[in-house]
Each structure stands twice: as structure tokens, then as C-alpha cells.
Amino acid sequence: MVPYKRMPMIVEAFAAMPDKRLIMIGDGPDLPKAQAIASQVSNVTLLGFQPGSVLLEHMRSARAFVFAAEEDFGISPVEAQACGTPVIAFAKGGVMETVRGLDHPQPTGVFYRQQTVASLIAAIGEFEAAQSRISPEACRANAERFSVARFEQEIKAFVEDRLALSSRAHLARLPQSQWVAQAAPGLGSELPNRVVPLKIV
């Protein structure tokens, strides 16, 4: 728990909503602040550091994953969606690309505009009102956009596309007879007007 993640703010928001339960996992310099607030209420549980298997179990069973940080990408919201769990996130940084808000046909979460207790509480209320619109299937499908397999596929397609463009540009600068000869060696003199396609493997 580091300051920019605003964990004490999340605890404070849930302390003001005794009918809702918060389970927080992780440790760090802001843990004592979060503990001081949580010690005054009964609906907030701080588990400290936990192995990945425990974190995964809680992500899968949660109604929503609350994210208060501003990060360039932010892997945790993607991991939550991969578990089929919606995200309630501060509307800045990478989550604007990785989470689909309620304005999307297949939303995967809710955004709040300010890093304040009041703004987060309002977003939680908005989430509860719209929860039926957010499906685990939509969350998992959205997370797949950021999978390793998808990344490798798109990088490969990009490289192949660049190579094809480069090859076509090179051939376009050659005289037609030389182009045909390079495309199909031995056919240049026999088929001066025929375009022989190239295949890049």
C-alpha cells in the first residue's frame, strides 16, 4: 500500500457505508493508516500480504474490484476483469483504456472523477444501480484484449504488414521487366506484361 494507491481513502469510504463489506489485500507504508480507520468499523477486513492464489480467490468472488490509483496501465483492473469481476476505478490513466464504462454497450465497470471519499461512494451507488448490465462474460472478454496471445498475434501481424509494404515499395521502384524477373526468376523475358504475385512467409 503506497500513497498513490489511496488505500486509506477506500477504507474511509467503506467505513461510511456499514452495510457494505470491504476486503483489502496488500501491505506497505500506508497499511498503518488503513488499519487505524478499519479498527473503528466492523465491515472492513485487512488481510495484509497474501499469496497469489488467495488474491485470485478473492478477486473471483468479489462483487467488484475498487481501484483508486492513477497508473499508466494498471495490471490489477485487467486481472480482476479476467476473473469476471467488474471494476470501480478512478477515471484517469490506463483504466480509461482497459475498463469499459457504463456508456459502452458491454460495460465492465464504473468510473469516478475525483479521488475523494464522496466521489467513490457515489460511484459504488452507481455501480449497484447498474450491476445487472455488467456480466462476467463481458469482463473476461475485455481482459482478453490485453492477453499475451493477443499481443503476440498483433505484433506478428504488424511486422508482416510492414514487411509486405516495404517489399511492394521496393518493387514499385523497379522497371517492370526487372520486377517480373525478381518476382519469378526466368520468366522476365517470356512474360514481360504479366504481374507475378509474391508471397511473404
- Tell me if the pTM is above 0.85: no
C-alpha grid cell, residue 80: 480482476
SS3 161: helix
Please report, for the chain, the start and end positions of each structural domain, with discontinuous segments joined by +. 3-146, 147-201
The whole-number pLDDT of residue 149 equals 73
The whole-number pLDDT of residue 104 equals 98
Q: Which amino acid is at 1?
A: M
- Averaged pLDDT in 10-residue chunks for the chain of 201 residues: 95 98 96 97 97 95 98 96 98 98 98 98 98 98 85 71 73 59 44 38 34
The whole-number pLDDT of residue 191 equals 38
Q: Pick from 47, 64, 60, 188: which is nearest to 126 by CA?
A: 64
C-alpha grid cell, residue 145: 484484449
The whole-number pLDDT of residue 159 equals 78
Looking at domain 3-146, does it have CATH number 1.25.10.10?
A: no
Element (DSSP H or E) covering residue 76: helix 75-82
Residues whose CB is less than 8 angstroms from the CB of residue 125 and which lie 6 or more positions away in sequence, other chains included: none
The whole-number pLDDT of residue 200 equals 36
